[in-house]
Structure formats: C-alpha cells, structure tokens
Amino acid sequence: MLHKRSTESGSETGEAPFIGRNLETLDDIPREIADRRLHAEFNEHIAPERFEVLREQPDVLEKPDEFAKSAKDVGLQNPEGVLGWSTKLEDSAHVLKGDVGMEIATLIHEDLHRLSSPETLREIQGDPELRQIYEGVTEYFTERAAEGLRGFEPGQIYPEEIAATAKLGFEVGDQALRDWYFSHEVTEELQKALDRLNG
C-alpha cells in the first residue's frame, strides 16, 4: 500500500508542493532547512518570484576569517558580534559558520531582510529608531520560523527590540506587521503605533 503525506503530495486544492534545492554541499543543508521554514511560515505573504530569486542567489556560509574579510569588503569595519548581513534580495546574504542551529536562524533572519518590501527598506534607511523596530520585527519573525529548532535559543538577539515588537504585535496584530514588512501596507492603527514608538 502506498502512503502519502500532504506535505509530499500537495494540497487538496491542487497546489504544487514546495520543491527544495538539490543538496550538493554540506552548506546546502542549513540553507534548505531555512528555506523550508521561511516558506512554511511566510508563504502567503511572499510572491513565489521573490522566493525564486532567493534560491537562485543562495546565501554564503563563511568561516570566521572569510566572514571578516567579506565584512570589510562591504564596509563593516568591526564584524565582532555580527552573525550575518544582507543588502538586497538580489545579493547573497553572508552568514558566519558555527553552531548549525544558529546558522539556520541567521539564514532565516538575513533572508527575511532580503524578502522585505523594498518600500519598507527605503522607509527605515534614514530613521535609526524605525530601523531598530524593523530589526525587532525581523528577529520576531525569525523566532517564529525557527521555533523548535535544535540549537536555537530565542531571545538571545535583539531582546529589547523583540519585546517592543511583541507589544506592537499584540496591539495591532501579527497580520499588520507582516503586511508592513513584506508588502509595505500600513494600517492607520500600525502607523499610529509606529509613530508613538518612534516619537
């Protein structure tokens, strides 16, 4: 008798299942886990074409010396304490190799940055306080996607920003945060809350 799981065969509506990348190197394994967790948590908020760009331009996992050199090449003079960075969807994120659970969580975090709405990114560029809120939302979403991941300890990165984001999410709803982050759709309630936090 042949058994199928819904995650393997698609849904009853005929949607195609998420198809992973070919695993050719050990670095592809954490990338694939991160991709699958992002897809499972945020699929309805991100256009398939954006996910495809992410997969075509995979993140780079680097040993500490390579990571430090890459950081300096992009202008990060002191990469101590930095686990990863990304610039835009079309460019690979760079992630420091280490504990696999932390690598996966950092891949998720950096790919969330890459998948953010370009309008949201432009909005935060000149506003340091709004940028902190944005980082808090990014890590808040990272914790959602990394929930239960072995080796990942929530609350270790941006703890104050996550606490502020949790309050914000409680006040305006998780959907409003996702709409702002991925589509730059800002409800009046969210705008008032952002103004108050940023005020």
For 33-74, write each residue's pLDDT tens digit.
999 999 999 999 999 999 999 889 999 999 999 999 999 999
Given CA atoms 169, 123, 70, 26 in this order, what sign does their dihedral have?
positive
| 2: in domain | no
13 falls within a domain: no
Domain assignment of residue 47, yes or no: yes
Residue 89 sits in which domain range? 24-198
Instruction: Look at the chain and report how many structural domains it folds into.
Output: 1
How far is Cα 34 from Cα 1, in angstroms, rounded to an integer? Answer: 33
102 lies in a domain?
A: yes
Residue 162 lies in a domain: yes
Is 4 inside any structural domain? no
Q: What distances in angstroms separate CA 161 from CA 14, 21, 110, 157, one per listed residue?
A: 40, 33, 16, 9
Name the nearest CA neighbour of 101 among 83, 117, 116.
83
Mind listing the pLDDT tens digit for each residue in 160-179?
999 989 999 999 999 999 99
Tell whether the model's pLDDT for residue 30 goes beyond 80.
yes
- The values of phi and psi at residue 148, to 5°, are 80, 0
Q: Is residue 61 part of a domain?
A: yes
Indicate whether 119 belongs to any domain. Answer: yes
Task: Return the H-helix or E-strand segment holding 60.
Answer: strand 60-62
CB-facing half-sphere around the CA of 194: CA atoms within 13 A: 23
Q: How many CB atoms lie within 10 A of CB 61?
A: 23
| Residue bearing tokens 């702002």 | 180
From the number of C-beta atoms within 10 Å of its C-beta (0-12, 13-18, 19+), residue 28 rates as middle
**Would you say the pTM of this structure is higher than 0.85?**
yes
pLDDT at residue 21, rounded to an integer: 61
Q: Has residue 6 got a pLDDT over 50?
A: no
